[in-house]
Structure formats: C-alpha cells, structure tokens
Amino acid sequence: DRPSEPIFLPKESDKGDKKVVFDVPREYLTDRQKKLSTQVINRFGEKAERISVRKITLPDLSIPGQLDRRAQFSLFLPEHRKLASRLINIFMGMRNLDDFLSAAVYARSHLNPYLFVYAYSVALLHRDDTRNAHLPPLAELFPEKYVNGELFARAREETNTVLDPQQRLPITIPKDYTASDLEEEHKVAYFREDLGINLHHWHWHLVYPFDAPLDIVRKDRRGELFYYMHQQVLARYNMERFSNGLQRTKRLIDLREPIPEGYFPKLDSLVSSRVWPARAANTRLSDIAREGDQIQFDLQDIERWRDRIYEAIHSGAVTTDQGRRQNLTEFGGVDTLGNIIESSIISPNRALYGDMHNFGHIAIAFSHDPDNRHLESFGVMGDSTTAMRDPVFYRWHAFVDDIFQEHKRTLPAYSQQQLDFPGVQVSGLEVNTPGARRPNELFTFWQQNDMDLSRGLDFTPRGPVFARFTHLQHRPFTYKINVQNTGSGQRMGYVRIFLGPKFDERGAPMLFRDQRTFMVELDKFPVNLSQRTQTIERRSTMSSVTIPFERTFRNLDQNRPAGGAQLEQFNFCGCGWPQHMLIPKGSAQGLQAQLFVMISDYSQDRVDQPLDGMCNDASSYCGVRGQLYPDKKPMGFPFDRNARTGVDQLRSFLTKNMFIQDVVIKFQDRVEAPAGRNVTTFNG
C-alpha cells in the first residue's frame, strides 16, 4: 500500500507547505492502515497540522469498491465511468463540508487511489462549498504518470543515503528518455511529454467530464469546447512539427492499417508495480474482448458510428433517441456533434451514434493485448492523464477533428460584412521581446524546473525529494497594436490574436483553407476604443489561453516562497494551457510565422454576465467556472470556417479591422535555470 496521503482540504488552512494529518475514526481504516497509522503520522513529523474527522454514517461504497485497489483506472472504460459517476454522486450528495471531508477520508483509505482522486477532484470542482479548494496536485500524487520509472529507484537511493533533505540533490530526468533520434517522432516528444500540457489535459477533462451526474456534465457549449480545445492542441502540435521539419499529423483514418508510430512510455505504475504497456511500431488494431474489463466491441462498431455521424453531417440533422430530427444549426450544430462524437451522456442518441472517440482511445490503448490473453492493462491512450504522450493521440484526434471540419465545411462562409467592424481600422501590429535587436522576433530555449516526488512515492522519505525536468520556455514579449476608430461614441472591441505557420512542409505559402486549421489562438481580450488613434499594448503573460507558470508548477517547488494571496485565490484553477508552451519551439535558423490580429465588435460578442468569475483567465480553452463561455462567436472565429469565394490566402481574407505581421521564432539551444534558482550547484 502507498502510505495514506493527506487529503487536500477544502479549507483556507490548507496552504503552503503545511502538512495535514487526519485524526480518523478507527473504523475508517483498513486493517493494514491501523498498523501503519503511526508510521504515517511520523512521516510528516510534529509540524503537521492535525485535523479530526467527524464520524458520520458511512456512505455505501460497495459500487465504487468493485474496482480493485491495484487496478489501473480508465475513464474511457464504460464500467469505470459508472463507478466514478457513482462516487461523484456520493461526494456531491454530502450535506456539508465536514461530512464531505469525512466521506472523502473514508473513501481514500478504501478505494482505488486513481478512482478516488478523480471523483474527489470532480466533486471539489463542482461543490458550492469548495469553491476555494485546492485540487490535489496530481503530478505529485502520482508522479509515475509523468516521469520515467527509473527515477523512483534513484529517489529511493537518494533518500536512503542522504538523510538530511537539505543536502539532497535533485534527480535529473533526462530530456530524452522515451526514444532516440532514430525515431523521427521523438523530435516532438518534449511537447507530447510536457508536464504542463498533460496536466492541462487532465484538468480539462475534470472540468468537462463526459460521464457524471447530469448537472455536472451539462455545461454551456461543452461539446463545442471539446472540439475546439482538441482542435487547438492539434494546431499547436502541427506548428511544433513544422518547427522540427516534420510533416503535419496524418489522420488515423483507416482502422485496419498497421500504425507505424510505436510508443514506449517507460512509466511505472506504483500502485500495481507494473510498467505501462508499450505499443510496438506497426501494431494493428483489433476487435476488443476483455471480460475482466467488461468491454467488448468490434472495430466495425466504430466504423458504423463514424458512417452514421458523416451521414448526419451531410443531411444537416441528427436523429434523436425519440426518433425526431434535430438540425445541425449554424451555431449549435458543432456543440451537438461534440457530444455525439466524444461522446458524452448528453449525446442526443448514443444507441445510434455510439461512443466513437472514447472507443477509439480504448481500441488503441488495448491494441497490444486486445483479448487480455497476456493479462496486460491499457496503454497511455487509456488515461486522460497520459494520453497526450503518445504520437497516436494526435493521429486519432486529427481524424476526430476532421469530422468536425466536415460539418464546418457545410456552413456558409463569413461575409465581409460579418467580419468587418465599421469605423475600426487596425493599421499596425508588432511584437517586441525585451533585449531583442529587432521587433517581430520571438525566442525559445530550454528551462529546468523541480518537482517534489516525495508525496507520491511508495516509501516514506522524510522531507522532499526533487526531480529536475527540462521543458520548453520562451522570452516574454509584448504585442503592440495600432488602431484607428472613426465611429461615433465610446465603443468596445474584442481583440483576437492568432499565430500560424507561413509556409507548408514544402516551403510553399499556405493556402487559407489549410492555414485556418493551423491557426493557434494566443490571446483574446476586450478593449475600450476611446480615442481616434490609439496603441494597444498587451503582455504575452496576460494570455487568455494560458495559466501562469507558477500555477502549472504550483506545489512542485516547495523551495519557492508561497505565492501570496492572489495566487492562493486562483489555486485550484488548474485548467489552462501552460504559459511556457504558449508559442512553438521554432528553429535555430528561425521559423517563419504569421501573427494575426482582429478587432471585432464587442457589443455583438459579449456575453452579459459578471466578468469576475473564478478561473476566468484561461477561458479560451477552459471557459469560466460556473458561467457561460465568454464569447458569442463560434469558437475559433474567424478561422472556424472556409473563406468566402475568391479568398485563397490569409492576405485576401483581411478586412480593415484585421492585420497580419510576419514574425520569426528563433530557438536558442541552451538550458536555463528557473527564475530565482541556481542550477550551477548541481552537476547532473
């Protein structure tokens, strides 16, 4: 058993480094834990705060308890979804905070840890009385899902030999550990295996679960956001591939063909002491029949669902489970399709359109052992915490995205009138990186950061053990936008900034119909157009897409001074693209890209609701907690559709309220220490 972990309290008192130990009623403990309990308390020393847990009438955990404590947990498996949904229901139903905490502590010691953390996190995010709660820092609780397995043996050695935590050296995770350069795809492993990106993906799926109590699933435009967030992941991945001389992601369109991309994750499961299964190159998908996982389906099922979805798109309507026709409308159609394709429990007809995207994950995740003859569990594609590590994730999602694009191709193009903002003209656009010799140059490099492994280890070191990992970073920069406003009165504009590749793989200028799907959203924000002429300046760190660096790595670096009240307040808002991955790597010679800005009429785009919602600073991909998506336009506007006739390049697409600027992204191949830390003391 992994030592019982402190639960992250939905209370203000749970801050900073403070460890919390629960005084738990003895009936809550398993027999083994009764023996271990003194040891657990020792682990956190006298500094720990002790909190007594109220004894309540214990909830019936028999259904979530059906999952073996040592099993892997996958939301993609219908059986596991059922158990998780049940547990979320139990947590949501606890009458007050004390009862919720009590139930959580009890569940923590009796249930599968992955299942527990998932359901507990969803409940924390959705209960009214836990608005200010901290989410468990997943990367620390389950480091095995983020760092290579070999590290744990080294961590054990370090803690056994260096007893004083102050003297311990961080254990360096090599930047390249999952493959060598013989594998072309490895060139973009730094993106796929990035800690912040994988944490974002896990958080996104926590905020937008597809199977949970109805009022949790039914969120404003959640189907559309499923499409848009994953579309943007692909756009970003493709820019990253162009940066590295790779071609765009190929759709996994034929389920019968061998998959050339292999993936060997080198992650260990600390729960079951097994390694995560790999997938060899050229593996073929098969029908799945795994009794133990209560899952059985044929590849033909996925193909049949796909065909029905295409049929619905081409006829412009879906058939509901009541047998009614429901039109795929210009604005709402993509949202309905999102729920159908993913699918979520609010799909209008799961019997007809099935569960396509989720079952694709399963078919791929079990491709190494489709009938369980080798008693192997699922690969990384079976878990939203790890799926983005695998090259095939992008191939599958490129296929899924193309179905959405097929729908978008049926919609009327935006007319010039719909794009224009009469009286508003953008006359200049520039980015400036402090210290750069020229404008319109962006710079990337490697940076190191530390995470504390000690919470997640299956033995109990005293004090932290740090793993040092390397990630992409860029110099912060500023946008400068020149605007003329000849309209009368005070007007507000919505500034939309995108970045896209200028050339395709062959070096030819991009055609609009291709380029639009590669446009990466960088920022979106309202401005007052109060003067006739004005210059809007905006820092890259303000992006509506990203969460700040500190939040991605919150708690990862215990040596960092506590972030202060403001950070605290945002502490649980873990959904958001990591700021350090805002722009693609570029290349040593410089990757040519196009920066695009548009100012649309905010009076038409704004959603009337208070703007001070929680977690509203990464709303582009994550929405705003408890509120409507803060933009009336279709997500991805104005690039969500093909252009009007006669427009084949971005330049001819422009109306007066838009502007494009060529920029160059230069990669500087060096490793820098995190701010405020000195890496030179360590010779790893």
Q: Is 81 or 357 the residue whose CB approaches ligand CUO more closely?
A: 357
Give min distance, CB of 356 to ligand CUO, in A.
Answer: 11
Taking CB under 6 A as the rule, which mask of x and - marks residues 147-186 in contact with ligand CUO? ----------------------------------------
Type of residue found at 531: Q
Residue 201 binds to ligand CUO (criterion: CB under 6 A): yes
Count Cα atoms within 13 angstroms, Cβ side, for 112: 23
Q: Is 364 or 529 the residue whose CB approaches ligand CUO more closely?
A: 364
What string of DSSP letters covers 605-629?
H---S-TT-TT-TTHHHH--TTS--
**Helix/strand/coil for 602:** helix
Give min distance, CB of 67 to ligand CUO, in A.
Answer: 21
**Helix/strand/coil for 405:** helix
Strands (E), 276-420: 288-290, 295-297, 317-319, 325-327
Asked if the peptide bond before residue 638 counts as cis, ω within 30 degrees of 0, the response is yes
537: annotated active-site residue: no
- Residue pointed to by tokens 């162009």: 242
Give min distance, CB of 609 to ligand CUO, in A.
Answer: 27
Q: Is 190 or 359 the residue whose CB approaches ligand CUO more closely?
A: 359
Q: In what order do the strands lie in the sheet with 520-529?
A: 171-172, 466-474, 441-452, 658-672, 591-601, 491-501, 520-529
DSSP assignment letter at 178:
S
Count Cα atoms within 13 angstroms, Cβ side, for 515: 24
Element (H, E) at 566: helix 564-569
- Residue pointed to by tokens 């399963």: 362
Bridging pattern class, strands 317-319 and 274-275? unpaired
547: phi then psi, degrees, rounded to nearest 5: -110, 150
Give the footprint of ligand CUO on residues 204-223 (CB under 6 A). 205
Asked if the peptide bond before residue 427 counts as cis, ω within 30 degrees of 0, the response is no
Give the angle 385-499-392 at the CA atoms, nearest 5°: 35
Distance CA 279, CA 178 (A): 12
Q: Is 118 or 596 the residue whose CB approaches ligand CUO more closely?
A: 118
Give the footprint of ligand CUO on residues 534-553 (CB under 6 A). none
Q: Is 201 or 308 the residue whose CB approaches ligand CUO more closely?
A: 201
DSSP assignment letter at 211:
S
Closest C-alpha among 237, 139, 26 to residue 452:
139
Give min distance, CB of 434 to ligand CUO, in A.
Answer: 36
Closest C-alpha among 601, 482, 496 to residue 532:
482
Give min distance, CB of 346 to ligand CUO, in A.
Answer: 16
- Can you list the alpha helix ranges (DSSP code H) found in 26-168? 31-44, 78-93, 97-110, 113-126, 138-141, 150-161
By beta carbon distance, the residue nearest ligand CUO is 387
Binds ligand CUO (CB under 6 A): choice among 384, 433, 543, 661: 384
Give min distance, CB of 357 to ligand CUO, in A.
Answer: 6
Give min distance, CB of 361 to ligand CUO, in A.
Answer: 6
Query: Which residues have CB under 8 Å from 599's CB, separation 6+?
Result: 421, 424, 426, 481, 483, 493, 494, 495, 496, 527, 529, 657, 658
Q: Is 44 or 114 the residue whose CB approaches ligand CUO more closely?
A: 114
Give the footprint of ligand CUO on residues 395-454 (CB under 6 A). 397
Q: Is 362 or 419 the residue whose CB approaches ligand CUO more closely?
A: 362
Binds ligand CUO (CB under 6 A): choice among 83, 313, 337, 387: 387
Give min distance, CB of 649 to ligand CUO, in A.
Answer: 32
Closest C-alpha among 101, 131, 122 to residue 213:
122
Give min distance, CB of 382 to ligand CUO, in A.
Answer: 10
Q: Is 205 or 306 the residue whose CB approaches ligand CUO more closely?
A: 205
Give the footprint of ligand CUO on residues 228-247 (CB under 6 A). 230
Strand-pairing partners, residue 426, are: 483
The one catalytic residue in 158, 193, 342, 521 is 342
Taking CB under 6 A as the rule, which mask of x and - marks residues 263-302 in contact with ligand CUO? ----------------------------------------
Give min distance, CB of 229 to ligand CUO, in A.
Answer: 8
Type of residue found at 361: H
Distance CA 94, CA 59 (A): 9
Q: Is 248 or 389 the residue whose CB approaches ligand CUO more closely?
A: 389
Q: Is 399 or 479 the residue whose CB approaches ligand CUO more closely?
A: 399
Longest dimension (CA), the chain: 76
- CB count within 10 Å of CB 470 equals 17
Retrieve residue 543's tokens: 């992006």
* Residues noted as catalytic: 342
Contacting positions for ligand CUO (CB under 6 A)? 201, 205, 230, 357, 361, 384, 387, 397
